[in-house]
Structure 1
């Protein structure tokens, strides 16, 4: 299960971009939806509505949903996404935990993001946490000891850990001067970490293209503003001084050799050749109902 909700730890609009990237590309279906009238204070975060000439349309209220999604290799996983509730966090966490236990979900991965004094010219940093040492050890670029304000993601991670289930989280670091807008780089990084942890092939092509556009726009603005360029240089110097020089990749084990592009491509091609001819990715009908495998006879379990 992948968890990404829009709350106070959502710098760079991570949750929205992650959901768009997954649900806009992969086969999926909604399996649960929380009662938003019970969970949200509409006056504290007023929904958006469009007014055109003399009519209202496109009302966008809060949502919190669970989807069953199939990755590029047709492997199933659950996605909890939407807005962080104002109320009843414990009941939401209890409901999610019951689903995790009923479906025997093997791993829960939370992804969120913070605005930190890091430069956009360096790779997106991360703070890894959870109870699976093999998925967090040597990953973090910054691991402070601090008391912080909790969100639903942090509380849910704690409750899953207390229940004895495997859970990890990846908090991405967004340059603080870019935290209020859409920063595609953070969504790319989050999908890479979540995909590697859950052994899923998650789409990032469109987000990478958007990231290149944003990168070019930022570079132009920095070139036109010497004071911003000086700020970025100071952040770069600080980042290079204190960042870890031996960050581990989740894509390989400690003693493994990193495969090159040709080896990865050959492995993917071999997998695709081995698939049955009647399996055609890209159609919603390929997703079986909850609790059933492809034949509809035996209970199935999401991999993450």
Structure 2
């Protein structure tokens, strides 16, 4: 059975996705589900499709990829009959940024089934469209306050593309997602990959949190060079902030929790800033050869100093021995009780 015909269907005619300079597009994957706290990934994908020029490229078969019993679609009922159903979707759109540069957006429900076949289909499509790099969007709940900007943690195979974005910095074993598998397999296939995980206040992880979506898109623009709009999301984030502030105000227990999170957030950022300042102020470290040469000079100085301070024991030892023998001979002549052989 042809994998292409069962997992996705291409639009005809296929939209143009090659840049004016002939370079291939970036593929951005933004799948909802496992890692979409605050619905930040879904909001970001929707914003990109709605605010920029967008064309459908391919539609994946949710019948092949989604377990409807684990995530049951929503039905509409009029009171007498069923009138509609909201089935999950997973699509690829060709989108042009503010400068007219095209990129691909894979967005929708995370597949429950056939992950490896799904990733292989993504790879085939990426080969077909000559994708230049692959960037994934994720959102995870963290112990941070809503009164501070959302932060980002980056990962991926192309460290240069990630620039100075913060990294996790330690080894982990975590439950997998289809998005993570896309990043892994595409990197193994030779693509430059990156992943951006925005942090969402854990107490707002079930609500829509557009501030995190704005941070995701700003970071996406940073690592890809795309010119992406964020004003609408920032406006929505300001409204959400006002609503949450109103809910928190007057509740002493919640206010104390938010205050503690603020102190923790500020202390961490201050420590990171001071560390960066100290590192920036340091001079360039010496090379291994320079360190080795300096060590040799130090040891040579120690040997020279030790030799100069030590007395010449050869003459002193001979004089002391002669004097000792003379004293012993004199004692033998004057003492009748002396033991024989004591003179040496």
Q: Shorter-chain TM-score: which interval? A: 0.7 to 0.9
Which residue does the alignment assign to 2:97?
71
Question: Given that residues 139 and 247 in structure 1 are in contact (C-alpha distance below 8 angstroms), is that contact kept between their aligned partners in structure 2?
Answer: no
Question: Given that residues 126 and 142 in structure 1 are in contact (C-alpha distance below 8 angstroms), is that contact kept between their aligned partners in structure 2?
Answer: no
* 1:186-236 per-position Cα deviation (integer Å, ceiling 9, x unaligned): 110111111222211222222111101000011111212111111011111
**1:118 corresponds to which of 144, 149, 152:** 144
Q: Is the partner of 2:105 in helix, strand or coil?
A: strand
Query: Deviation of residue 40 (structure 1)?
Result: 1.0
Give distance in 1, aligned partners of 2:77 and 2:233.
30
1:84 aligns with 2:84: no
Question: Given that residues 145 and 261 in structure 2 are in contact (C-alpha distance below 8 angstroms), is that contact kept between their aligned partners in structure 1?
Answer: yes
Which residue does the alignment assign to 2:11?
none
**1:173 corresponds to which of 174, 199, 203:** 199
* 1:66-121 per-position Cα deviation (integer Å, ceiling 9, x unaligned): 11111122111000000001100111111111121222211111010100111112
Task: Report the count of equivalent residues.
Answer: 249
Structure 2 counterparts to residues 1-304 of structure 1, below 5 A: 1-140=27-166, 143-243=169-269, 244-245=272-273
Query: Deviation of residue 7 (structure 1)?
Result: 1.7
Give distance in 2, aligned partners of 1:234 and 1:143.
25
Question: Greater shift after overlay, 48-57 or 83-92?
Answer: 48-57
Give distance in 2, aligned partners of 1:142 and 1:123.
18
Give distance in 1, aligned partners of 2:68 and 2:274.
46
For structure 2, list consecutive stretches of 5 or more residues without a partner in the other structure: 1-26, 281-344
Q: Which has the higher helix share?
A: 2
Give distance in 1, aligned partners of 2:215 and 2:115.
27
Q: Is the partner of 1:24 in helix, strand or coil?
A: helix
* 1:170-197 per-position Cα deviation (integer Å, ceiling 9, x unaligned): 1111010000110001110111111222
Question: Given that residues 154 and 162 in structure 2 are in contact (C-alpha distance below 8 angstroms), is that contact kept between their aligned partners in structure 1?
Answer: yes
Q: Is the partner of 2:35 in helix, strand or coil?
A: coil
Query: Deviation of residue 247 (structure 1)?
Result: 11
Give the number of the structure whose alpha-carbon radius of gyration is greater: 2
Which residue does the alignment assign to 1:298?
none
- TM-score, normalised relative to structure 1: 0.77
Question: Given that residues 125 and 142 in structure 1 are in contact (C-alpha distance below 8 angstroms), is that contact kept between their aligned partners in structure 2?
Answer: no
Query: Deviation of residue 52 (structure 1)?
Result: 3.3
4+ residue runs of structure 1 moved beyond 6 angstroms? none
Q: Is the partner of 1:50 in helix, strand or coil?
A: strand
For structure 1, list consecutive stretches of 5 or more residues without a partner in the other structure: 249-253, 255-304
Higher relative contact order (CA 8 A, sep 6+): 1
Query: Deviation of residue 143 (structure 1)?
Result: 4.0
Task: Summarize the Cα distance change of 1:43–1:231 in structure 2 as closer, same or farther, 3 Å threshold.
Answer: same
- TM-score, normalised relative to structure 2: 0.69
Give distance in 2, aligned partners of 1:242 and 1:208.
25
